[in-house]
Structure formats: structure tokens, C-alpha cells
Amino acid sequence: MKEHHRLVRDRVPDLIYESGKSFTIRHADNDETFSLLLDRIVEHTEDLRINPRREDLADILEAIYSAAEKKGWTLQELENVRAEKRAARGAFQENVVLLYTD
């Protein structure tokens, strides 16, 4: 059997079962799941660097939404913080790269 030890989407076990393969799963608590979601974000970010695809960016969004939920943060709260930071510090629209400061 191939080892994975990674968080998967909820329907993945059903899809594996339907394919006729065997598998073993366990359920993580919310704290471990939060950490595993961060691992998935890093994984998909690395994939984006190699081969930019919308699917990986969508996977990152799904992981972010799930991570927020595990911490009890609503999407509206995240959006409010994002909008506040954008208003105060700007976005990433102008491609500014900071090189040096004193």
C-alpha cells in the first residue's frame, strides 16, 4: 500500500471505494486539521510555482476557507480584515517589490 498521511477532501474516500481500491483513513481533530490544511496550502503553492493552474489556486482557497472555519472565523470576517488591510496598505496590483530600507 502507498502511504499518504495527508488531509484529503471529504469525498475522496468514497471515490477511492468506488474505484475498487482499498484504503485506510482516520479523522483528525480541529487543531491537527488546521495544521494539515496549512500543509495543503504550501503544497498547492509549490505546485503553482511549477505549473500555474486555476485548480491549484481554487484548492488553496478551499483550504483557506476550511482553515478559517476550524478557527471559528467566518468568511465575512476574513473579507472584512482583507478589505481593511487593502484600504490601509494597498493590494498587490502595482507589482511593487521592496528592495531595501534603512
Grid cell 475498487 — which residue? Answer: 20
Domain boundaries, the chain: 28-74
pLDDT digits (tens, 9 = 90+) for 22-68: 999 999 999 999 999 999 999 999 999 999 999 999 999 999 999 99
Do 39 and 7 contact (CB within 8 A), yes or no?
yes
Tell which residue, 70, 49, 45, has the closest CA to residue 58. Answer: 45
CA 15, distance to chain mean position in Å, is 21
- Taking the model in full, what pTM does it have? 0.88
